[in-house]
């Protein structure tokens, strides 16, 4: 049975607290800032556990070895500038 309730976590990306909202039944992923403004929307084809694991691995990977966020999460972003360095930490 597919879950209908979203999975939610808060983490810090580039020094900004964001909320990850993942809808397992559709694979839709929304990343919003603390004010609720959408920063990125995409789909995630894996599980919630895999998403959280990916963010944790990103936070432990040296900046010069990290994958491009647009590669991981698509390119629909509210910020038109590309961030060359991304830092991720769970709170």
pLDDT averages per 10-residue partition of the chain, 91 residues: 79 84 92 87 91 81 70 51 46 50
Say if 86 falls within a structural domain: yes
Q: How many domains does the chain have?
A: 1
Q: Is the dihedral of CA 42, 48, 50, 53 positive or negative?
A: positive
Question: Strands 88-90 and 28-33, how do they pair?
Answer: unpaired
Say if 2 falls within a structural domain: no
Say if 1 falls within a structural domain: no
Tell me, what's the pLDDT at 28?
A: 93
8-33: per-residue pLDDT in tens? Answer: 998 887 778 889 999 999 999 999 98
Tell me, what's the pLDDT at 63?
A: 72
* pLDDT over 70 percentage in the chain: 68
Say if 55 falls within a structural domain: yes
Average pLDDT of every residue of the chain: 75
3-state secondary structure (DSSP) of residue 18: strand
Q: Are residues 31 and 73 in contact, defined by beta-carbon separation less than 8 angstroms? A: yes
Say if 62 falls within a structural domain: yes
Domain that residue 18 falls in: 7-90
């Amino acid at each position: 049975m597919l879950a209908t309730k979203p999975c939610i976590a808060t983490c810090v990306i580039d020094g900004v607290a964001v909320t990850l909202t993942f809808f397992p039944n559709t694979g839709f992923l929304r990343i919003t800032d603390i004010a609720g403004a959408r920063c990125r929307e995409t789909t995630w084809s894996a599980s919630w556990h895999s998403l959280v694991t990916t963010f944790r691995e990103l936070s432990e990977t040296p900046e010069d070895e990290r994958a491009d966020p647009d590669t991981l999460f698509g390119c629909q972003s509210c910020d038109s500038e590309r961030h060359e360095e991304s830092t991720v930490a769970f709170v």
